[in-house]
Amino acid sequence: MGPGAAALVRRHARVRDRVLKWGLAGLFAAAIIIAAALALRRPPGTPGAEPPAGSPAAPSDPGAPPSDRDAGAGARAPDLAASPELELMTRLRAVVDTDPAAALNIADEGERRFRDGALADERHFLEMRALVHLNRIVDARDRAREFYVRFPTSPWAERVFRLTGLHPTPVPGP
């Protein structure tokens, strides 16, 4: 056995020893924690996202919508404080992880009542999240395709990618 093969055998033995030490349950739990942490990361410029270099840290509420400072990108309207759309979104955020079927009903209601509302992009993201919870991955990816067409500059696009694994299709330049 050559020196490269011997090193590979030693590395394999170390990995095997770690697996035996921590157990498969520990590795599984760690994988779930890491996946959850990645899923809860926010798009840039939203609460909970990694702040740009030199900027103050943003609050870390993973369920909060992008902030009003993103309104320039079409994400928020300044007079949204007591709107019916915000009330609907509050209900949707509250149930998306605990009752995804109810979340889909609320998202459908939001689409009927506020199709082009200020929170439409977030509503579509939460709809995709409910679909993933229901193991309807193909449907979630179909919604992601629609999302990228309808909201090409949305701050939620990065989270849609992380949730569905679907990249936005680049628009060909001149």
Of 54, 144, 127, the closest CA to residue 89 belongs to 127
Q: What is the pLDDT of residue 72?
A: 39
Range of the domain at 151: 81-164
Asked if residue 35 is part of any domain, the answer here is no
Q: What is the pLDDT of residue 78?
A: 47
Give the residue ranges of the chain where pLDDT is below 70.
1-9, 11-13, 15-82, 170-174
Asked if residue 133 is part of any domain, the answer here is yes
Q: What is the pLDDT of residue 103?
A: 97
Asked if residue 160 is part of any domain, the answer here is yes
88's CB contacts (< 8 A; 6+ apart) are 106, 109, 110, 113, 114
Asked if residue 118 is part of any domain, the answer here is yes
State the total domains in the chain. Answer: 1
CA 12 – CA 143 distance, rounded (Å): 42
Asked if residue 50 is part of any domain, the answer here is no
The answer to whether the beta carbons of residues 128 and 162 sit under 8 Å apart is: no
36's CB contacts (< 8 A; 6+ apart) are none
Asked if residue 6 is part of any domain, the answer here is no
